């Protein structure tokens, strides 16, 4: 059974959103990966995604803020170099933030990761909210209702509720059964 689960879930382990959601879940972090190579790859993907996020955020801020004008009176100021803002790269910021996050211990498995991120003062929080959300779709439930409509027809209207539920379960999960 474990082999069957591994076989079915292995294609998901190489997908970026799944990997990032796993590493951004404070209940798992790097423990959610099978090998140390997978852990390293996940850490690199997180650093890359976070650096990209910081770059986009920085560009958006620069576009909205006007560039400060320099007056000739302040150019001769002895301590004028202190007024120049730090020029740190998004990559260096991302490396520090990601390493700090990964070095913290994992939280209890029963705790909510969204609550953890809500009370954490870390810029990774924005990235976590992108990847730890559920997909807003009603497609799976619509499929089940559609299948129920196919099973319970005018000619088969005397099915009991229990039997209908069993048939729906079998129809919904038939792809997992071996022939």
pLDDT digits (tens, 9 = 90+) for 128-157: 988 887 766 667 777 777 877 777 776 777
> What are φ and ψ of residue 93, in 5° steps?
-65, -40
Q: What is the CA radius of gyration of the chain?
A: 26
Beta strands in 47-154 (DSSP E): none
How would you classify residue 111: left for phi > 0, otherwise alpha for psi between -120 and 50, otherwise beta?
beta
In the chain, % helix, strand, coil (3-state, to 5) comes to 65, 0, 35
pLDDT tens column, 151-167: 777 677 787 888 888 88
Where b means 16+ CB within 10 Å and e means fewer, 110-135 reads eeebeebbeeeeeebeebbeebbeee
| DSSP H or E run through 42 | helix 36-64
The alpha carbon torsion through 163, 168, 171, 176 (nearest 10 deg) reads: -100
pLDDT tens-digit readout, 43-90? 999 999 998 888 887 777 777 766 555 555 455 677 776 776 665 666
Torsion (CA) 92, 94, 96, 97 in degrees, nearest 10: 160
């Amino acid at each position: 059974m474990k082999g069957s689960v591994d076989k079915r879930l292995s294609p998901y382990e190489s997908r970026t959103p799944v990997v990032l959601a796993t590493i951004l879940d404070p209940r798992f972090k790097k423990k959610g990966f099978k090998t140390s190579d997978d852990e390293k790859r996940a850490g690199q993907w997180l650093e890359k995604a976070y650096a990209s996020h910081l770059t986009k955020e920085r560009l958006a801020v620069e576009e909205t803020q006007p560039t400060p004008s320099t007056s000739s009176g302040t150019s001769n100021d002895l301590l004028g170099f202190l007024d120049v803002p730090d020029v740190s790269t998004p990559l260096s910021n991302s490396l520090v933030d990601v390493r700090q996050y990964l070095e913290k211990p994992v939280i209890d498995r029963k705790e909510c990761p969204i609550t953890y991120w809500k009370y954490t003062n870390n810029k990774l929080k924005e990235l976590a909210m992108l990847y730890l959300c559920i997909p807003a779709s009603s497609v799976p439930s619509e499929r089940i209702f559609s299948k129920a409509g196919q099973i319970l027809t005018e000619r088969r209207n005397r099915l009991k509720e229990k039997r209908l539920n069993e048939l729906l379960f079998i129809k919904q999960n038939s792809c997992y059964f071996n022939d």
